[in-house]
Structure 1
Amino acid sequence: MNEKIILQFSKTKLLKAGFTLAIIASIASTLYVMKAEALAWHVWHQFTHHDHHGLDLSEYEVAIEGKQLADYKNASGLAFNNETGTLFTVLNDMSMIVELTRDGKPIREIKVHGTDDLEGISHLEKDYYVVADERESKLWLLQIKPETRELSIKDGRLLKFGMNERGNKNFEGVTWDSVHHRLIVVKERDPKYVMSVTGLYEPNEDKQSQIEVQRMTQFDPALKWALRDLSSVTYHERTGHFFLLSDESKLLKQFNEQGQTLGSLALWKGFHGLHENVPQAEGVSIDDEGNVYIVSEPNLFYVFKPKSSRT
């Protein structure tokens, strides 16, 4: 009799424990789908002290929302050219680079031969650009002149890394740090990280340079908890800050050189004047006036500006 009571009691405990675990799992799943940790980080940054030497992203509002870029497919990277005052995006499905005005109007198409997975682009200076091939884990230094309408990836200078396998979780974004003459490259996930590359391009053509690759570990703690993936990066020369874009977290986060978070821009409906979520943010750039530009697959274009500039 006692054994039966004990057995029944044990079964009841197991059932209650299983029910509790099911509730916890359900709550955790719901929070994950809602991107609760990203929302918490964003709200926290809105109420913490802002670095006055950075961009106050809490004061930004959308000025152009979800403008379609013609019939293009898979707009993936974005770069602003301070010398021309125009933007450049890469289309990985169409193997093309497209030059855009600041309001998202296409003004030039450049067909790129020899690659089918362009994911990032950055302007260095003059006619020189770097593009990233995600599947092959390669960076290419290309010269794109004002009259260029077609080029081969093989005409550029190749930088290939041996640290990543072929696949679709590799280089997602690249930007040029003009102050330290280095490229900043982000790997999407598994694992996600930020690294610097020096020596690929030297503004002083007479200077001999050696390519050096270094992981920027100061960003690792923030990446571990704050961003689910990395889809793009841009460097802002005036502030010396890095802006990391996460498609899965739907956040653009600002960091200083030490890896300290200095604010964020939320890409969800209801934030910063957005009427709908930014569906798949893949590229980001900032112009000389501090305006933030984002492209979202397959072909959506966004502009965010400080409220003060719109009054």
Structure 2
Amino acid sequence: MLAVAARTSRWRLIANALLLLVLTAVLIAGHLLHWDDQLRLYWREQSVDAMQRTASIWLPDYELALETTLAGLEEDETSGLTWNPLSGTLWTVTGQNPQLIEFTPGGVVLRRIRLTGFSDPEAVEALDDGRLVIVDERRRLVAVLNPEPELESIELDDLAIHDLGFPDAGNKGFEGLAWDPLGQRLLLAKERDPLGLFALPFPGEDGAVGALEALPNQPLLVRDLSSLAIDPRSGHMLMLSDESRLLVELDLQGEPRSFISLFGGLNGLVQGIDQAEGVAMDGEGNIYVVGEPNRFFVFSRRSEVAR
């Protein structure tokens, strides 16, 4: 009886040890895959009623429609993305070799503009009049330019610039940028330390840039901020997180409304998006994402993808 009890005790210890190992592995996997972020967002998403969904972007309805690469940018590291409705084209910036790149919604590169004097351009955004605003993360500034058709290069010193502050931010400064046409202001995302959203009135009543101000927001439920975009139809914001591998919709009150995961095997993605760095949205509701070094993705509503 004692031998049987001893064997039973040993097997119980082994079973408990295996269970502990499994639970540890699940917790580690959950941390690495950011399941905690997704579970919190999923819980918020379940409280959205049918009327709110209709008035939303509603990301669960989206699926990958195109995945390709931006030719010739393999060594340049694309970062940031914007849609210009006046030209019907997209713009991105590159950090390794500072450039401003224009390309089609199908991923065909149309032209490059050299950015001389820039240190680390991380975001670009089109204004209502077609001008472009670029964020230089290391220099902690925004610069404004007019991308005229014949323009091949531009000097930072020749542009109107605005200091964004945070002198100790280093390489954890502003990465996201979006234009809010209703508020006539730029919305900026600070990557981390502290993570947050800010507004920059642009221009003010006298034509000058206003003062940068932190936006009061609900907890953003992501680990970093890579890029922002505004839906021109609903006014809702798209918030891209590289580390959490998530694209999140925020409503007009700044609360999470819906999300999609950027891991492989979901929403039409095969390999997933490892380093998502820029998001943009056009007037038709198509969502565009760039990832380092030069990957390009288009997401459309499932009804549109099926056509």
For the aligned pair, the TM-score class normalised by the smaller chain equals 0.7 to 0.9
Q: Which residue of 2 aligns with 1:60?
A: 62
1:45-92 CA-to-partner distances (Å, cap 9, x unmatched) read 564425221112111110112x11112121001000010000000001
The percentage of aligned residue pairs carrying the same residue is 33
Q: Which residue of 2 aligns with 1:243?
A: 238
1:1-311 correspondence to structure 2 within 5 Å: 28-44=27-43, 47-49=46-48, 51=52, 52-65=54-67, 67-72=68-73, 73-199=76-202, 201=203, 207-209=206-208, 211-219=210-218, 221=219, 223=220, 226-310=221-305, 311=307
Q: Which residue of 2 aligns with 1:17?
A: none
Q: TM-score, normalised by structure 1?
A: 0.85
Q: TM-score, normalised by structure 2?
A: 0.86
How many residues align structurally? 284
Paired amino acid for 2:177: V
1:127-156 CA-to-partner distances (Å, cap 9, x unmatched) read 411100111111111221122121112211
SS at match of 1:29: helix
> What is the rounded CA distance, in whole Å, between the counterparts of 2:33 and 2:66 in structure 1?
25
> What is the rounded CA distance, in whole Å, between the counterparts of 2:147 and 2:238 in structure 1?
25
SS at match of 1:125: coil
Identify unmatched segments of 5+ residues in structure 1: 1-19
Q: Verify the 8 A CA contact 2:162 2:209 in the aligned structure 1.
A: no
SS at match of 1:87: strand
Q: Verify the 8 A CA contact 1:142 1:155 in the aligned structure 2.
A: no
Paired amino acid for 1:62: L
> What is the rounded CA distance, in whole Å, between the counterparts of 2:142 and 2:199 in structure 1?
12
SS at match of 1:165: coil
> What is the rounded CA distance, in whole Å, between the counterparts of 2:212 and 2:224 in structure 1?
21
The Cα shift of 1:257 comes to 2.2
> What is the rounded CA distance, in whole Å, between the counterparts of 1:29 and 1:60 in structure 2?
29
Identify unmatched segments of 5+ residues in structure 2: 1-18
